[in-house]
Amino acid sequence: MRRGKYLIFIISLFIFWNVNAKNSLELVCNTPKMFKDGYTNCDVMLNYDGKVSFVEFNYESEMNVTFTKGEEAELNVLNNKVTLSYNNITPKNIKILNVKVTNNDDQLGEKKLTLKNIRITSEDVSYSLDNQEQIISVITEKDLSSDCNLSEITIDGIKLSNFKDNQYKYTGITSDKRVIFIDAKRSNENSQAMGLGNVMLQENKEKEALITVTAENGNKCVYNLGITYVKKEAVVAVEKSNNNNLDSLELYNKDKKIEFSFDNKKTDFNINVENDITELTVKAMLQDEKATFVSKFGPRDIKLNEGKNSVLIKVSAENGDVKTYTLNITRDKLKSDDTTLKKLIINSVEVILNNNEFAYEITLPDVYDKTNVVAEANDKDAKIVYEDIDIKKDNILSIKVEAPNGDVSEYTITIDQDEEKEEDKPSFQKIDVTGYNLDFDINKKDYTLLVQDEVSKIDVKVYPSDIEMTVLDNGDLKNGSVVTVKVIDKDIERTYQIKIKKSSTKLVNILCYLFFIVAVIILLLSIRYRVKRK
């Protein structure tokens, strides 16, 4: 029973939404603009399927509004609330109110008129409809548009093929109908067009059909159509051309032609130009004289930004088909002429670099036989070219830096070496652990050594062997034990620590054995269970 009530409730909600979705109340203004001392008229249109008893709503306005009923009804306006009482009529898309809107101050700009809390009462059922809002601009004469052009003319629903917005006279138009219907689209929706609708033609005699478009500011444009009625049997059908191909396409920078391979079967072209080319002239010819270039997409002068520029050429065939050619023109970025280094390190000795100085002298310890260079240029795209030298044979190091624009600078480094006294040279070389690769570095103090679980001590050696060495905590080694090695070389003491990490081979083997035993037990129990079931 409860489910049935829920179902009825849901169905009633659906029916309510469906009925409500078909109904509407709209606020429609003749023009959304008016002068400070003028007015504009708006209509309230109601579209409703059922019988209507009451229409009510609140209004909010930044201007003065006056309501006048449009159909027989009792109109009541009180405290910004409008009520219309009907004798159960069915308003199917009718005007129920006229609203006159006048300005109430000297302020220019956009002002708002809003209808809200809209409710329709029909046969004791009340419905809510969407709020309505209209923006009205209070303007001066200089704000009015002077655009009185059309963007399209159609005759019996067919576009005028050779139409241009700034061409006002057309002749040679024929129709096989005595009565035609002329329609048009305005470039500016606030302009007004006269002369549209049905036109009676004369047989075999051209008739002028005038379309007068009046802009907001009063400017007028008159389109003159010369149309002749020709009986159908006398009309010779001529198929319009679909040729929208280019015959040629060329690019020029002043008088210099930009070379690229043009093929009218292709529509996309990739073209690269130097950075100093900032503008180009596009020249193009059509294959078919009846084809035309789409406005603003034909031959023209173009300016180029650094990087990629997309230039479109659009060709419209006589039948209206449009083909688009795309020129992807990449203008190279300005290449840097920076040939300087940001950083220079030779065998761990950093060279202090100065602006516009390319010759330097450095001194390296006598322990080095060959240079080891680390260099970084100020421009990340610059190329650095050098070859390490044998310091014992040659003490002049040359480093060349090539900028992206091709400029090259050469740094010259003169290398001197200090001869160290024999007693000052360290004789200690390395520590080794027998059977393991310690990867020893004299400046690295901490190491990790992986050994087998059963290893309890490691064999540590020092090179040369006559160096004094002390090994601590090297016995009963466990996982995590640390063996300390102290080396004394000519009064220089160095301490190294080797952390022991043991592999878990025994533990892994034990776990494998346990896993195997458990698997066998489970298998035996499974066989026994199956035997009992049988």
Beta bridge partners of 74: 85
3-class SS at 528? helix
**Residue ranges of domains in the chain:** 18-143, 150-234, 246-331, 341-418, 426-502, 509-534
Can 18-143 and 341-418 be said to share one CATH topology?
yes
Residue 251 has pLDDT above 70, yes or no: yes
For residue 291, the tally of other CB atoms under 10 A from its CB is 22
Residue among 49, 48, 56 nearest 73 (CA): 56
Domain 246-331: give its CATH code.
2.60.40
Chain mean pLDDT for the chain: 85
Q: What is the pLDDT of residue 234?
A: 46
Which strands make up the sheet holding 64-69, listed edge to edge?
24-29, 39-47, 94-102, 64-69
Tell me the pLDDT tens digit for each residue of 111-147: 889 999 999 887 768 888 899 998 888 888 777 888 8
For the segment 364-385, the average pLDDT, to the nearest whole number, is: 89
Residue 256 has pLDDT above 70, yes or no: yes
Tell me the pLDDT tens digit for each residue of 435-488: 888 888 888 899 998 988 888 999 999 988 888 899 999 888 899 899 999 998
CATH architecture of 18-143: Sandwich (2.60)
> pTM for the full model?
0.33
Name the most confidently modeled range: 28-37, 66-75, 266-275, 501-510.
266-275
Residue among 223, 221, 229, 272 nearest 251 (CA): 272
Lowest-confidence range among 181-190, 229-238, 384-393? Answer: 229-238
Residue 264 CA to residue 282 CA, distance in Å, equals 15
Residue 508 has pLDDT above 60, yes or no: no
Residue 177 CA to residue 199 CA, distance in Å, equals 10
Q: What is the pLDDT of residue 236?
A: 56
Does domain 426-502 correspond to CATH entry 2.60.40?
yes
Residue 396 CA to residue 416 CA, distance in Å, equals 9
Residue among 297, 192, 284 nearest 246 (CA): 284
Q: What is the pLDDT of residue 17?
A: 38
Beta bridge partners of 58: 81, 116
Tell me the pLDDT tens digit for each residue of 137-184: 888 877 788 889 999 999 999 998 889 888 889 988 999 888 999 999
Who's near 390: CB < 8 A, 6+ residues apart? Answer: 369, 370
Tell me the pLDDT tens digit for each residue of 409-421: 999 999 988 765 5
3-class SS at 525? helix
pLDDT confidence bin for 10, thresholds 50/70/90:
very low
For the segment 2-18, the average pLDDT, to the nearest whole number, is: 42
Residue among 111, 94, 103, 97 nearest 40 (CA): 103
For the segment 188-200, the average pLDDT, to the nearest whole number, is: 88
Residue 502 has pLDDT above 90, yes or no: no
Residue 2 CA to residue 9 CA, distance in Å, equals 11
Residue 7 has pLDDT above 50, yes or no: no
Asked if 82 and 119 count as a contact pair (C-beta separation under 8 A), the reply is no
Residue 9 has pLDDT above 70, yes or no: no
CATH class of the domain defined by 341-418:
mainly beta
